[in-house]
Amino acid sequence: MKTKAIVILAIICIISFLTTSCVRSQDVVILDEEGKSYFSDFSIDENKVHVFCRITLKNNSAETVDVKLNAFMPKDVENGLLLQPVLQGINLEDDTPVFRVPAESEKSFYVDFIGEHGNNDIKQDRLLPEIRIALLD
């Protein structure tokens, strides 16, 4: 009986530790108030569309995190600028798809979201696209 109680207590402690020390996707958010994140420009080069944005991320967790950013732009597929709605974000600081945000801080990045060009050269609007954040292990 005593062994069973110790095992249950150990399991509860492990689960508690894992849930409190893990970074969740809601711990990293995009700050779009006061011009901290915005659409800058776009260009077309060799059948690729480049959408340039400044993105400010806030890490609310106690750990440094690496994330990947994608832009979701279905309206630009509808108007023919893009072939697919999801564009991969490239960190222009180091030309990689990884964005490192220190613990409990904000960090701004210049991002090039890259997608396949369709048959139209006109962008639907000049709004910041919907940005999707994926935590990297």
Residue-wise pLDDT for 6-36, tens only, equals 545 444 444 444 443 445 657 888 887 678 9
Pairing status of strand 65-72 against strand 38-45? unpaired
> What's residue 24's pLDDT?
60
Q: The CATH number of the domain where 110 resides is what?
A: 2.60.40
**Residue 7 within a domain:** no
pLDDT in tens, 59-113: 999 999 999 999 999 999 999 999 999 999 999 999 999 999 999 999 999 999 9
Which residue range(s) make up the domain with 43? Answer: 26-135
Q: Among 105, 123, 129, 134, which Cα is nearest to 49's? A: 123
How many residues does this entry show for the chain? 137
Residue 70: strand pairing partners: 88, 132
Regarding pTM above 0.85, the answer is no
